[in-house]
Amino acid sequence: MTPTGQPQANEDTELTKAIKLLTSGWIFNGTDVQIIGHHFYGRVPYLTKNELENYLEQTDTWLKEII
């Protein structure tokens, strides 16, 4: 899960491509970390408390699905 200050993007943008390259191609490359997928949360610095709590609930649901 990656929080960003950019608008929510459900498709590949230059920003999401760069983040995927940095995390999957560099930071986690050579480790035993398995990349399952990428979820991007946009506009994080500008969201209300309720919107942020919704992001956390979504994250909790996704984590429970993979555990």
For 34-56, the DSSP string reads: ------EE-SGGG--HHHHHHHH
CA 55 to chain centre: 10
Tell me the pLDDT of the chain (67 aa) as tens digits: 777 777 776 678 888 888 888 888 888 887 888 888 888 888 888 999 999 999 999 999 989 998 8
- Give the closest residue to 40 by CA, choosing from 5, 61, 21: 5
All structural domains of the chain with their residue ranges: 2-66
- pLDDT for position 10: 67
